[in-house]
Structure 1
Amino acid sequence: MSSTAGSPVAVTYLEVTANADGQRLDNYLLNQLKGAPKTLVYRIIRKGEVRINKKRAKADTRLQAGDSIRIPPIRLAEKASKTPIGAGLRELLEGKALLFENDMVMVFNKPAGLAVHGGSGVRIGLIEALRQVRPELVDLELVHRLDKDTSGCILLAKSRQALNFLQDQLREHSMSKIYQAWVLGRWPNNLVEINAPIDRASSPSGERRMKIADFKEGKASLTRFKIIKKHQDLTLIEAEPVTGRTHQIRVHATSAGFPLLGDPKYGNDLINEHFRCAGIPRMFLHARRLEFLDPQTLVRLSIEAPLDENWQKVEQVKVK
């Protein structure tokens, strides 16, 4: 096995540590073979090239500490994690972007424009950058996602046990994520929640877009809203997504007639360009506060991410 093209490849044997006890085989391999396509991982399992204690196994086989995993020779392209990060991003992640850390978790204030992970067209994301900055954290994983253009609180777990503990809170809706957003229009005082299913929208270009869907087709989606203040033909709102659907706040706000300022997918292109020309080139959605039960102390934490300077500039621009 190799992480770079051109390097020698060979059968690899890995011993399952206590940290991976109970993990599914497919998830374990995806974590070990970072950069490998999912189709490749599932193919080598299906063909019996991956063995647990010399026996064939299925993708959903649960591992036990001490298991010996045989991984066939695999040649991977150079990974995003091998792309050196810039000095500016390194300084940010080592400094003011870190909002909270203990032995189990980390919370960062992700800047707008940084993807949470590398992928199609993205050489390096937050998780790959952090693995370079903190190489000792071998089991570091994202607990949840934020859109590339969204800033604010992002939670990471330092072990699989912490990851499972935190993701259980997401599934049970006991983790609270509070966002702030500038939207176009005067948000009505009586619009305090939107309960409308969301589904993937067809896009000829293949762009990932979502839409409000029929109750029989879409996934149930609930967002609660609160007005912070109104300015000209804009409203600063607080949004709490009770469910965690893709683009949920953006789609719900747009469906009510109040697209987010700077939203490149669902927003107003003319007004977005007006603000870009005024030197404010971002989408105004920020994960302001994150509340969760700390897996280390079992105390409920509330972490806040400060707003960047662009938020203060909005009220200085005259809306067309």
Structure 2
Amino acid sequence: MSPQQGAGEAVKSEVRWVDIDEDGAGQRLDNFLLTKLKGVPKSVVYRIVRKGEVRINKKRAKPDTRLEAGDQVRIPPVVQKEKPVGPVPGSRVQKVMEAAVIYEDEQMLVVNKPQGIAVHGGSGLSFGLIEALRASRPDARFLELVHRLDRDTSGLIMVAKKRAALRHLQEEIRQRRVVKHYHALVAGHWPASCTEVNVPLERYELKSGERMVKVSEAGKSALTRYQLLELFDGYSLVQAYPVTGRTHQIRVHSAYGGHPIAGDDKYMDDVSLRAFRTQGGQRLMLHAFALSLVLPDGRQERFEAPYDAVFDTTVRRLRERRTGKASS
């Protein structure tokens, strides 16, 4: 953009010829164009395809045409709106994100996301984990989130470094071959006999626009399996395995079972939340502890992420209190 061009100003591009490599193979043409033509309305993208201005190997193509390695795609001149340059994650945030990477190969990253960091920018946030990783790796051609974690949940999240890896990992998740184990500190004594909660969940919005989830027969099926790990004075540490992947699933299922997650300001009652805060509770006590999956290269792998200092201190204090009572 020239010094004379203001942020958000429309700019007409030139004809581009893009060679498709192995990593780009398998994409639909329309999805490929939407990625390449940021700021161009979908209606314009579909119109230039329909009019034959987009060519694959000099031939007309349809929006759902699958690209193959070795294809050459002609992208015609279009008017694109220059996006204003947003805030860039500072060096400290970039270093925190890089330090959180616990595994990396040519295909993917596994990151132990800190609590309080969103996975991506939006909803009033300038940037999140993925923007920080992209900023710290300016030469990376491709970095995309494979799945999501709530902002207040810590723990393991996967980031793909290649499109083929993204497709593989998301398909593994869809086929329920990725096993995710969460550790949660919940209010009350979780009964060892309660090994699953299987009730449908429905998303809705409050008048404020805040997104919430509730148990509802009109919702989508949801199943979470549980294992009791430890009992404390007034709390329990459980391991939760979400068989399905609904929004806030573990949080709502735990609350539905009568044992909301400690520090959950959405689904914990005010009295219990106040009691947890009074005891020094500082965060939502939910941590994505382990991932078991088949990597894009075919290897079976299991990753584990240690608790952060706040989570660890909270659990340790409860253990010490329990030990102290037992010895008195």
Per the normalisation by structure 2, the TM-score is: 0.84
- Contact 1:127–1:142 (Cα < 8 Å) also in 2: yes
Partner of 2:89: 85
2:306 corresponds to: 306
Q: How far apart are the structure 2 equivalents of 1:279 and 1:85? A: 30
**Inter-CA distance 4–44: structure 2 relative to 1 (3 Å threshold):** farther
Alpha-carbon displacement from aligned partner over 1:208-245 (angstroms, at most 9, x marks no partner):
1111121xx32221110001111111111100011111
Counterpart in the other structure of 1:254 = 255
User: 1:9 is matched by which residue type in structure 2?
Assistant: V
TM-score normalised over the length of structure 1 = 0.86
Amino acid at match of 2:269: N
User: What is aligned with 1:137?
Assistant: 140
Deviates more, 1:4-13 or 1:222-231: 4-13
User: How far apart, CA to CA, are the structure 2 residues paired with 1:57 and 1:210?
Assistant: 42
What's the C-alpha RMSD, in Å, of the aligned pairs? 2.7
**Deviation digits for residues 64-110 of structure 1, max 9, x if unmatched?**
4311223622214335xx42213332222222x11100111110000
Contact 1:49/1:72, CA 8 A, preserved across alignment: no
- The reply on whether 1:116 has 2:89 as its aligned counterpart is no
Residue of 4, 7, 21 corresponding to 1:5? 7
Q: Deviations over 1:131-185 (max 9, x none)?
A: 1111222111111111111110000111111111111110111111110011111
Q: Distance in 2 between matches of 1:127 and 1:31?
A: 17
Is there any run of 5+ residues in structure 2 with no aligned partner, and where?
Answer: 322-328
Contact 1:112 1:148 in 2 (8 A): yes
Aligned to 1:229: 230
Could you tell me whether the CA contact under 8 Å between 2:10 and 2:79 is conserved in 1?
A: no
Kindly provide the amino acid, as one letter, of the partner of residue 259 in structure 1. P
* AA at the equivalent of 2:98: E
Q: More deviation in 102-111 or 41-50?
A: 41-50
**Which of 8, 24, 27 in structure 2 is aligned with 1:23?**
27
**Aligned residue in 1 for 2:243:** 242
Equivalent pair of 2:8/2:84 in contact (CA under 8 Å)? no
Residue 193 of structure 1: how far off its partner (Å): 0.7
Write the distance in 2 (CA, Å) between the matches of 1:98 and 1:260. Answer: 26
Distance (Å, rounded) in 2 between the aligned partners of 1:56 and 1:213: 48
1:192 and 1:226 in contact (8 A); partners too? yes
Q: Please state whether the residue corresponding to 2:72 is helix, strand or coil.
A: coil
Whole-angstrom distance in 2 between the partners of 1:277 and 1:14: 62
Within 1, Cα distance between the matches of 2:261 and 2:280?
17
CA, structure 1 residues 30+223, in 2 after alignment: closer, same or farther (shift >3 Å)?
farther
Distance 1:57 1:199 in 2: 40
- The AA in structure 1 aligned to 2:289 is R
Asked if the contact 1:107/1:153 (under 8 Å) is kept, the reply is: yes
Q: Is the counterpart of residue 269 in structure 1 residue 243 in structure 2?
A: no
* Rg comparison, structure with higher value: 2
Does the CA-based 8 Å contact 1:45-1:58 persist in structure 2?
Answer: no
Letter in 2 for 1:224: R
Preserved CA contact (<8 Å) 1:45 1:57? no
Q: How many residues align?
A: 308
C-alpha distance 164-304 of structure 1, shift in aligned 2 (>3 A): same
What is the match of residue 171 of structure 2? 168
Among candidates 105, 110, 114, match of residue 107 of structure 1: 110
The sequence identity of aligned pairs, in percent, is 41
Query: Where does structure 1 lack aligned partners over 5 or more consecutive residues?
Result: none
